Amino acid sequence: MAGTARETVEQAYRLARRGQHLELRPLIAEDATWRPAKEGAWNPCRNAEQIVRTLVWRTHMNRMRPAETIELGDQVLLHLRGTRLARLGGRGFFFARLFQLVVVRDGKIVSMQDYPDRERAYAAAGLPL
């Protein structure tokens, strides 16, 4: 298991990109949740199995990966890059951007929340712009 929240999240994305769902599963808490950037973009994930499937799918189909990471104690704020992020609720004129706030407790991801822009993500994390 990874040490810091940032290491846990980076390891989760690395395993998802490789399609290693069996190794990814222990990094996700059983009752973890993942909420979309906008209602109706996709159904929220309500347990670890749904999160593992969605994360593996997103990293493959949308080539989604962290571009910038900010660790805030047990929270990690990610600026995600990839293709077709507008479908997932991302915003941007030429290239859609998507942000994510991930909460890690006891070495496991307990919640993930996507945000369409930096302003909302920073506000949720309690950071000034």
Q: Report pLDDT digits (tens) over 7-41.
A: 999 999 999 999 999 999 999 999 999 999 988 76
- Computed over every residue of the chain, the mean pLDDT equals 90
Q: What is the pLDDT of residue 10?
A: 96
User: Could you tell me the fold of the domain covering 5-125?
Assistant: Nuclear Transport Factor 2; Chain: A, (3.10.450)
In angstroms, the CA 5 to CA 10 distance is: 9
DSSP 29-48: EEEEEEE-SSTTSSPPB-SH
Strand partners of residue 102: 76, 112
103 against 1, higher pLDDT: 103
In angstroms, the CA 79 to CA 76 distance is: 10
Structure-token pair, residue 36 = 């979309």
The domain spans of the chain are: 5-125
Q: Report pLDDT digits (tens) over 39-59.
A: 876 889 999 999 999 999 989
Backbone angles phi, psi at 69, to 5 degrees: -130, 135
Q: Report pLDDT digits (tens) over 50-94.
A: 999 999 998 988 888 899 999 999 999 999 988 777 667 666 656
